[in-house]
Every structure is written in C-alpha cells, then in structure tokens.
Amino acid sequence: MTSPGTLAVTATLTNEDAEPSCTVSGTVNFEITQATAPIVSKLREPPPFKGHRGWLWDSKYWFWVKPGPTGNASPITVEARAIRRARVPGPGVAAKRITFPMRASDGEPPDQEPHGGCGSTALICPRKIRTWPNGAEVDVWAKGGPTARGLVKVLVTLPRCVPTFHYSLAKTPVGLDVKVLQGGARIARLRMAGRCDPRGQFSQCRFKTLSTAL
C-alpha cells in the first residue's frame, strides 16, 4: 500500500523509426492522501410493537461496515464468539472467523455453504431443539458488485426459549462478542449478554450488556 504523500509517475516514449530517433518523456505528480476510516452503520434493533410496551417484532440485530469511496480497501475480517450464558464471552472461548476481500485483486470471496441446519451465510449456527435454536445465530455476508464488495453485513438473531419435555419453555440466555477487524485493528464491535423471551409472535429482550463500538 502506498503511503500518503506525493507520487511521481514518469512516462518515456522512444521513436526509433524517426531519423534521427527521438525520445520524449513527461512526469506527473499525484497527491496520495490517507485513507479515510471505514463507514460503520448504527446498530439496527428490532422495531417495537406499539401495541404493548417492551415488546419487539423480532429478535434480530444488525449493522454493516464498508470502506467507502476513499477508505481502506484491505480485507475485512469478522470474528465472533457466543455462549449460552448471560455474560460476554472472553478470549478463552473459541472464535469463528471469516475474511472478505474488498477488491478483486485480493482474491475471491470465501466459500460459504449451509451447515448445521443454518443458511450459507451463518458464521455461528446454534443447535436446534424441535426447530427452536438454543443459542445466538450470527450471519455474515458481503454485498457489492462482481469485482469489488461494497460492504460487509453482520446479522445477529437471538433465541427465544426452547421447548422442554414437560410442555414448557426453557430460558435461553446468551453472551456474544462480535468484532470487525481490518489490518488487525478493530473497527467495530458488538457485545451482548441477556435473553429474549417469546410473547406470542413478538419478543421481549432484556440485557445485562448491550454495548457497541460502532
């Protein structure tokens, strides 16, 4: 990567068919500026159900990160940790990672295949009990054109209890730590610790921790 400053480009053309041969050259200076910081969206929280205070239409949270027209276009990595307890997981918890090149010259996008009953974009896929997930699902994918990815989106879907053998529902607390990295530096982070409960088709979520560095 070129450092900020002045970049001098010199072109030389020699015409050996002329009599005598001649050579011309020219130099052009380009000002290379520092790449701007990546653009990070606000955290999208579930829309509230206006018919009942505290109820939400779903239990999905998402945000996106993109370099922007003058930003650093080096690859973006998403690193996620999740546990089934209402505390933010520490570095001792194994992380799942995926890296997306943001320009064609950095290679092809990663292969993403369905696994564990989740779709192809799932970075973390929770176990399911009678189709009810017992942990947080983290989906990550890149959006953009065929030669360059415009942005990377992170979607977190929180569980809403699981059925038991006694025809009741068991709570599903979760802890989550999602980091977005570029060049080894953190450019965004989402930490969650709490749980969501079903209220019919709606959700009610309570958190001990809901922290963003977005």
**Full-model pTM:** 0.82
Strand-by-strand arrangement of the 185-199 sheet: 96-100, 76-83, 174-182, 185-199, 202-212
**Confidence (pLDDT) at 146:** 53
pLDDT confidence of 63, banded at 50, 70, 90?
very high
Average the pLDDT over 160-168 and give the result. 86
**Confidence (pLDDT) at 154:** 97
Enter the DSSP assignment of 145.
Answer: -
Q: How far apart are CA 170 and CA 193, in angstroms?
A: 17
pLDDT digits (tens, 9 = 90+) for 81-134: 999 999 999 999 999 999 999 888 888 889 999 999 999 999 999 999 888 899
Question: Domain residues of the chain, as ranges?
Answer: 39-212
Name the pairing type of β-strands 22-32 and 39-40: unpaired
| Cβ count near 19 (within 10 Å) | 7
Residues 6+ apart with CB under 8 A from 73: 35, 67, 102, 103, 148
Residue listed under structure tokens 């018919």: 51
Is the pLDDT confidence value at 6 over 80? no
CA distances from 75 to 45, 125, 149, 159, 181 (A): 27, 23, 10, 31, 9
- Which structure tokens are listed for 163? 């059925």
Closest CA to 200 of 62, 52, 45, 47: 52
Q: If DSSP codes are grouped into helix, strand and coil, which group holds residue 119? A: coil
